[in-house]
Amino acid sequence: MTVPPQQRIKIAVQKSGRLTDNSLHLMETCGLVYSRGRDQLICFGENMPVDVLLVRDDDIPELVAEGICDLGIVGMNVFREKVADGMDVRPELELDFGRCRLSIGVPRGFDYRSPQSLEGLRIATTYPRILQDWLDTQQVNAEIVMLSGAVEIAPRLGRADVICDLVSTGSTLLANDLVEAEVVFESMAALISSNGGPAEGWPARLVSRMRGVLSVRESKYIMLHAPRSALAEIRRLLPGSESPTVMPLEGRDDKVAVHAVCRENVFWETLEGLKAAGASSMLVLPVEKMLA
């Protein structure tokens, strides 16, 4: 059945950048099969009335605020900056990629002690609103030098004394003889919607599927054998599990089988702790789908 174009929904995703692959992969994990248009600007959903619009990340909040797109995936840094600028959008879900921090970087040898060390200085950034809010909270007066790129070379060019830029590995700061002095804002990718929230129907269904995909990524199914006497301790050690299923073991009155969905990752330390408490035959399995 063909869905009329006006009933198709659109989700805005970064066209080409750090968030593109993870965003498209998330859409695929939500079940979307799409073909990419010849102009490369739209991914046309083949099995759902959902199209993906590929745009610059800076345009995503506006497309969502204006209702041109129902949902968007963008860094919280871009989202926060636009909201501070008065844009009417809200985050629906924090996503598990695109992690970075907006940090103050100072030239090596700069005697940084506290935010007050920035008093009266020029700070180069692409995020003037977030920076100004932070400076206000810290009660620091500084001059913000707005740049649209190449922020890290501003001190060397004499355009600013220090910078406020995104950092992930720290290698860009290092290469420019800068030192990370203070984290202003921790960021990650987020799913955003207009302020009324996602509309009933496909927008709401997509949000719910994404929530499911995220909780699956953090979940494991764990199976083990446990002495009946250690059951309370073993339940306590199972990370983030709700009510585990406890089953008898054929021919063994002293032992039971325990199955549980754990909402946090199960690490070797957890398994070692369970073993020390008497658990045996432990199996940890990935969960493929989950819908609350």
Non-local CB neighbours of 138 within 8 Å, separated by 6+ positions: 115, 116
193 contacts which partner out of Zn ion, ligand PRT, none, CB within 5 to 8 A by kind? Answer: none
Minimum gap (Å) between residue 79 Cβ and ligand PRT:
9
The answer to the question of residue 129 lying near ligand PRT (CB under 6 A) is no
Binding piece for ligand PRT, criterion CB under 6 A, among 26-34, 44-52, 75-83, 283-291: 75-83
Minimum gap (Å) between residue 189 Cβ and ligand PRT:
6
Exactly one of 51, 57, 92, 161 binds Zn ion (CB under 5 A); which one? 57
Binding-site size, ligand PRT (CB under 6 A): 21
Residue closer to ligand PRT by CB (options 62, 261) is 62
Non-local CB neighbours of 222 within 8 Å, separated by 6+ positions: 238, 241, 258, 259, 260, 261, 262, 266, 282, 283, 284, 285
Q: Where are the alpha helices (DSSP H) in the chain?
A: 20-29, 60-65, 76-84, 128-138, 154-157, 171-175, 202-217, 231-237, 268-276
DSSP 107: E
Is the distance from CB of 65 to CB of 87 less than 8 angstroms?
yes
The residue number whose beta carbon is nearest to ligand PRT equals 75
64 contacts which partner out of ligand PRT, Zn ion, none, CB within 5 to 8 A by kind? Answer: none
Exactly one of 23, 77, 125, 219 binds ligand PRT (CB under 6 A); which one? 77
Minimum gap (Å) between residue 258 Cβ and ligand PRT:
40
Reading the block at residue 193, the tokens are 């919607």
Q: Give the whole-angstrom CA distance, residue 124 versus residue 161.
A: 8
Exactly one of 9, 13, 106, 167 binds ligand PRT (CB under 6 A); which one? 167
Is the distance from CB of 237 to CB of 274 less than 8 angstroms?
yes
Residue closer to ligand PRT by CB (options 173, 226) is 173
* Residue appearing with tokens 């497309």: 63
Binding piece for ligand PRT, criterion CB under 6 A, among 12-20, 129-137, 190-198, 257-265: 12-20
The answer to the question of residue 96 lying near Zn ion (CB under 5 A) is no
Residue ranges in 232-251 that form contacts with ligand PRT under rule CB under 6 A:
none
Binding piece for Zn ion, criterion CB under 5 A, among 52-60, 93-101, 153-161, 261-269: 52-60
Q: Which of 105, 108, 97, 137 is nearest to 121 (CA)?
A: 105
Residue 246: CB atoms within 10 Å: 15
Minimum gap (Å) between residue 78 Cβ and Zn ion:
7
Residue ranges in 174-203 that form contacts with ligand PRT under rule CB under 6 A:
187
